[in-house]
Amino acid sequence: MPQTEARKTLKDAPVMWRRINSIGIILDCNSTYAANLGYAKSEILGRSIFEHVVKDSWEAMNESLKSWFETGKVTDRKITFKRQDGSTFPGLLQATSIYDENNNLLGSNTVIFDLTQMNSEKIKEYEEFFKDAKNRLDEIKEKEYDQLDENSKSEYDGLKKMFEMLLEVNLAELK
């Protein structure tokens, strides 16, 4: 999947990010997501989101998908994630939808916070990253958006919506 300028904001981001299609198959993820789960990116792509969740959280993940289909987003959904080595961590999932030019659902951008890592330093890092990413997307909008193809515009719009949502999250409450 080619990297758009908008998606490059997530490449080495401090947050775990993945993009899924409308049936929960992982289409892309960043290096942070892969590293935190203990997999190579190639081992993640094409897999179901349920492969990285403990069985006890499958119902919560199903509820998350249902909420996403109904509202176009998921906020503050607690899910227990499973790493390749079998260890687990409590995560908080935030997701926004991606639509094509005809407003058909393509999938979602999902950010996962590892709740065991939520401290003041990490929160500050996340907040700065979200502001920087939003500023970078604003630059893309101003300089390049009109020249983008429809797929790149859909991706841009989805990421813009995701960062707007993340900037509204009170991360200090997640500690």
| pLDDT tens by residue, 45-98 | 999 999 999 999 999 999 998 889 889 899 989 999 999 999 999 999 999 999
Query: Across the chain, what does the average pLDDT equal?
Result: 91
What lies within 8 Å, CB to CB, of 90 at 6+ separation is 78, 79, 80, 81, 114, 115, 116
Mean pLDDT is lowest, of 3-17, 75-89, 111-125, 157-171, for 3-17
CB atoms within 10 A of CB 25: 13
DSSP code at position 26: E
Tell me the sheet residues that pair with 18.
29, 110
Predicted confidence band of residue 2 (pLDDT cuts 50, 70, 90): low
Q: Is 139 helix (H, G, I), strand (E, B) or coil?
A: helix
- pTM, two decimals, is 0.90
Q: Cβ(172)–Cβ(22) under 8 Å? A: no
- Residue range 12-16: average pLDDT? 90
Within a 10 A sphere around the Cβ of 150, how many other Cβ atoms? Answer: 10
Could you give the CA distance from residue 51 to residue 10 in angstroms, rounded to a whole number? 22
Q: Please compute, for residue 134, the number of CA atoms within 13 A of its CA located in the half-sphere on the CB side.
A: 14
135-158-66-2 Cα dihedral, nearest 10 degrees: -120
Kindly list the structural domains of the chain, giving each domain's residue range(s) and its CATH number in brackets, ordered by start.
8-173 (3.30.450.20)
